[in-house]
Amino acid sequence: MNPPRTTPGPDRRRLVLWRHGRTSWNVQDRAQGQADIPLDPVGRRQARRAAPALASFEPAFVWSSDLDRARSTARELAVLTGLGVRLDARLREYDVGIRQGTTFAEFRRSHPEVYERFFAEENYRVPGAELPSEVDERMTAVLGDAAAALGEGRTGVLVGHGAALRSGLLAFFDAPPRMREMFAGMANCAWTVLEEHPQRGWQIVDYNARTLPGASSALADEMPPHHVSKDAPAPP
C-alpha cells in the first residue's frame, strides 16, 4: 500500500474515518451491533500497527464511538499524538435489535419471517433495532459537526464501526441506498479519507486503506438488507 498523503494542500480540510480492530465476534461472524465487545489480541495488534499511519495525518482531533472496541482503537492513536479522545455515541454501530449476537444462519432459523423482511425491505426495522435511515441521520450529523470543527488544512479522525461508517459515508454525500453496493466493506482497522476540494466540495480520496496484509473485511453482519445478499455465505 502506498503511504498516506499527509499534506492535503494549504487550505484543504480532511476527515479520516477509521474502523476499529478485530473482535472475537468478528471472527465468529456474529452481529455485534451496540454490544460492548472488546478487541481481541489480533485487534489490539492491528490498532497498534495502524496508529502510526493515522498519526502521519497530524490530526487536530480524534473522535470515537463510546463502545470499547472503538475506544481502544482510538487510544492507540491518542498515545502517539498526545491528543485526547472525544467520545460520541453518534459514532456507534447500528443497533441491530434481536439480531445482536447471532450469525445470519442463526437469525434465519430463529426469526424466519423477520429474516425475510430484513432482506426484502429497504428501511425495515428489525424488532428492537434502529432503522437504517436513523443511522444515516446520526452519522451525517456527526460527520457534519466534525467537518465544521476543522480549521483550514486540518485533519480530523473519527473512529467507529464498519457498517455505520459505510452507511454514514454514503449519507454524507446524499447518495441513494442502492449505491452502497458499489463499496466493499471496510476491513478491521482500515480507514477512508475524505478531502474538501476548493471547487467540488468533499470527495472520497482513499477508501478501505490499510497497513495489514490479509486484514479481515468482515462487516456485513451489521448491514441492512440492501447491503448484503441473503444467499451469500457469511463474511470472512
CA–CA gap between residue 173 and residue 140 (Å, rounded): 9
**Which helix (H) or strand (E) is 182 found in, with range?**
none
How far, in Å, CA of 40 to CA of 37, rounded? 9
Pairing mode, if any, of strands 191-197 and 14-19?
antiparallel
- Give the C-alpha separation, 16 to 73, whole Å: 14
Residues 6+ away with beta carbon under 8 Å from 140: 168, 171, 172
For helices 132-148 and 162-172, give the axis angle rounded to 10 degrees. Answer: 70
- List the catalytic residues: 20, 93
Edge-to-edge strands of the sheet including 85-87?
85-87, 61-64, 155-160, 14-19, 191-197, 201-209
